[in-house]
Structure formats: structure tokens, C-alpha cells
Amino acid sequence: MNDDYPGRPKLLKGALIEFSKRFIVPVPNIIIFQYNPETMVRKLETWYSGGQEGGQGGNSEPVNAQPHDPPETFDLTLEFDAADDLDNPVNQGIAIVAGVSNRIAALEMLLYPEEEAGGLLGSAVGALAGAAGGAAGITSNAKPVPRGKVPDLLFCWGPSRIVPVRLTSFSVEEQAYSPQLSPIRAKVTVGLKILQPRNLPCSKEVSSELLKTSYNIYKKVKQGLAASNMVGQSADAIMGMLPI
């Protein structure tokens, strides 16, 4: 099939967008999936009268009164292969040295808290300065940079599913190695929990407002899909299901 055929649908790739202060340039860090996972498990939790999700409260019976939207999670596995990069002149050098380690590291950093100032480069410069001062016998009285919060994330899975999330689980299966023992194939299994507006900090930052807006749009899309299902049902079909 000709890939240039005008009627061919464009393949959209899933991605995680990080809004972080660890980089010097204040732009989102977009981590595009090399391959879209073939399956994804979604879970919604029922509210229990004990005040906690998942039946952890004093009463194990679900109730009708519910103070907020049900918690929702995604579980998916991402596959990485350095073969594509080895054929790409732009990324070939990194692939030869690191394999897919850079892709895995980009995901791992989403679990680490941000530094308050200076970001990754500031930390590297500070470490070098400390090493140089120690070699010269100079003692520094500088206090360590306080640790911050984990970065804000958007999970992008098509135009109708862009939601704020937080990583809740992370595991890596390295499957093959280069002669330098860098992984050249790997599977990364991640768990994502959708953050509702009540879970997001009260902040006037653009990223915070974007996260809240994306959740509200995601919920509106769900409501619209549910409404379209009701419209598609004929009155005769509904009456035929009633025991009268």
C-alpha cells in the first residue's frame, strides 16, 4: 500500500507531556511513544460509604452518595527498540552508545522530584563545582537545594483522551544488550492515575490551569459519548426489553 495515499488515516502516537522546572527552557518535555501499545487496562473504583475507595472504609457496601468522580487508572506497556534509531543518521550515535537507555531514563525522571532552581544543568554545575572545591581543599557552606514535587504530566491518547496523570507504578524489562551492555530492546510497564481537579494544587500557573481544563474536557467527552449511545437506541428496542 502506498503510504502517500491521500485517504490513508494519519497514525497518532501516544505521549506523556511533562511540565517541569528542571529544564532551563520553560517548554513542555514531550515523550512520544516509539510504538503505541496494543492493549491498555482501564480501571474505575467504586466509592464506599467508609469514605475510601476500594472498600477500605468501615462499610464494604458501595453507596449512592458520592462526593467526587470515581478514581480512574490506566495500565500499559511501552516497547522500545534501538533498531529504528540505528537506521536514523540523527539518532544513530546515541543509539550506538546508549541503546534505548535515554528513552527509559526520560520516563524514569518522571518519578523523581524536581529541584527548585537550576534544574538538571544547575545540579550538574553544582556537582562539578563541589568536586573542584574539594580537590582544592575548599569547604563550601552552601546548603543543598531543597527537593521539589514530581512534575505535572499529561497523558495523550488521541484528541479525546488528554488527561492529567501521575505515575503510580513503573517496571522495566530489558530484553537485549549491546556489546557495551546498554539495553537495545526493553519493555516498560507503567501505571497511571488520573488526577482530578481536587488532586491538583491551587496554582495560577499556566500548566496547572491546563491540567484542570484537560480533565474537564475529558469528562465532557465521556458524557457526550454516553449521550450518543442513548440517542442511538430506538424506542422500540427499549420497550421490547421491558417486562410489560
Q: Tell me which amino acid residue 39 is.
A: T
Q: Average the pLDDT over 40-44 and give the result.
A: 97
Q: Is residue 48 in some structural domain?
A: yes
Tally of structural domains, the chain: 1
Residue 141 pairs in a beta bridge with none
Q: Is residue 183 in some structural domain?
A: yes
Q: Average the pLDDT over 36-46 and give the result.
A: 95
CB within 8 Å of 119: residues ≥ 6 apart:
20, 21, 22, 23, 24
- The residue segments making up the domain with residue 182 are 15-114+149-234
Q: Is residue 213 in some structural domain?
A: yes
Highest mean pLDDT among 50-54, 104-108, 146-150: 104-108
Q: Is residue 81 in some structural domain?
A: yes
Q: How confident is the model at residue 131 (pLDDT cuts 50, 70, 90)?
A: very low
Do the beta carbons of residue 15 and residue 31 sit within 8 Å?
yes
This prediction's pTM: 0.75
Q: Is residue 176 in some structural domain?
A: yes
Q: Is residue 3 in some structural domain?
A: no
Helices within the chain (DSSP H only): 83-86, 92-98, 101-108, 119-135, 206-232, 235-241
